[in-house]
Amino acid sequence: MNDKILIVDDEVEILNSLKIFMEFHGFEAEVAQSAKEALRLLETQKFTIALLDINMPEMNGIELLQEIKQMDFSVQVIMITAYTSFDKTLKSLQYGAIDYVLKPIEDMNVLLELIQESSRRVKRWRKVLKDSVFLKK
């Protein structure tokens, strides 16, 4: 099963380029132009990784991060933003983001490495959880 990545950004060009890049590297990718659209996708689909823009209208990426972690704590969240502050970085990490990437993304290989590492981590966790459930029976 391919890992499924949720990409959330209010900029269509970024959504499209990240989706193409992820699919080229063997990931299944869904895109959302708003946090509300992302939440609807999260209700019906299981994602391994989410790439979230911080600055979006209506609900920002940090608020969306909190919602995602309440829905499924195992989703690995990477924040992406063109505008950052110490406070936003700290809150992102505090609420469970595993990393922070600045836009424009100058080296897509760095992002790819983060995603591949996150994918391995989730697979390891899911195996441990599955094995521990079988051990209790």
Taking the domains of the chain in order of start, what are their residue ranges?
4-136
pLDDT at 62: 96
**Per-residue b or e along 18-32, where b marks 16 or more CB atoms closer than 10 Å to that residue's CB:** bbebbeeeebebbbb
From first to last of the 137 residues of the chain, give the pLDDT tens digit: 578 999 999 999 999 999 999 999 999 999 999 999 999 999 999 999 999 999 998 999 999 999 999 999 989 999 998 887 889 889 999 999 999 999 989 999 999 999 999 999 888 887 887 777 665 55
- Of 28, 26, 32, 47, the closest CA to residue 122 belongs to 47
Q: How many CB atoms lie within 10 A of CB 55?
A: 16
The architecture (CATH level 2) of 4-136 comes to 3-Layer(aba) Sandwich (3.40)
User: How far apart are the C-alpha atoms of 75 and 83, rounded to whole Å?
Assistant: 24
C-beta atoms surrounding 119 within 10 Å: 18
In terms of Cβ atoms closer than 10 Å to its own Cβ (0-12, 13-18, 19+), residue 137 is exposed
pLDDT, residue 135, reads 59
